[in-house]
């Protein structure tokens, strides 16, 4: 994956991360994942690049999280990835991908970790 930012323009953290990158002359490919949900395999690759597991990509505060019972620890990665694909609001944001690694930009300054 090239340099990309999985971005929600309605999210202040996501906008902040994009601004930080642009201030440093980096124009990532912006992925508006709410308009076009990433494929399950792409989400799997993101989780691998994060190195923190599939659950780290989940937004547990979204209504879909509770409605779909995603807090159930017996759910496997495939079930979680399928839920994120079907309901992209469940995907944590922003996610910055650079040089084969990824980081969740919370706080937004975390995106800078991949640049050094």
**Number of domains observed in the structure of the chain:** 1
Q: In CATH, what number is assigned to the domain containing residue 70? A: 3.40.30.10
Pairing state between β 95-98 and 4-6: antiparallel
Q: Which of 1, 11, 37, 112 is catalytic?
A: 11
pLDDT above 70 for 1: no
71-86 residue pLDDT tens: 999 999 999 999 999 9
22-41 residue pLDDT tens: 999 999 999 999 999 999 99
How many angstroms separate the CA atoms of 63 and 77, rounded?
Answer: 20
| Helix or strand run (H / E) with residue 95 | strand 95-98
Q: Which domain holds residue 76?
A: 4-114
- pTM, 2 dp: 0.94
> In the predicted model, what is the mean pLDDT of the chain?
96
pLDDT above 70 for 18: yes
Is residue 11 flagged as an active site residue?
yes
pLDDT above 90 for 60: yes
Q: What is the pLDDT of residue 24?
A: 96
pLDDT above 80 for 106: yes
């Amino acid at each position: 994956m090239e340099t990309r930012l999985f971005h929600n323009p309605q999210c202040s953290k996501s906008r902040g991360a994009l601004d930080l990158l642009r201030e440093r002359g980096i124009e990532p490919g912006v992925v508006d994942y709410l308009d076009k949900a990433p494929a399950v395999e792409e989400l799997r690759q993101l989780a691998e690049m994060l190195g923190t597991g599939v659950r780290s990509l989940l937004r547990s505060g979204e209504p879909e999280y509770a409605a779909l019972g995603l807090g159930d620890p017996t759910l496997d990665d495939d079930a979680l990835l399928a839920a994120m694909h079907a309901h992209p609001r469940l995907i944590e944001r922003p996610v910055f991908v650079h040089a084969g690694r990824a980081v969740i930009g919370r706080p937004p300054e975390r995106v800078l970790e991949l640049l050094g």
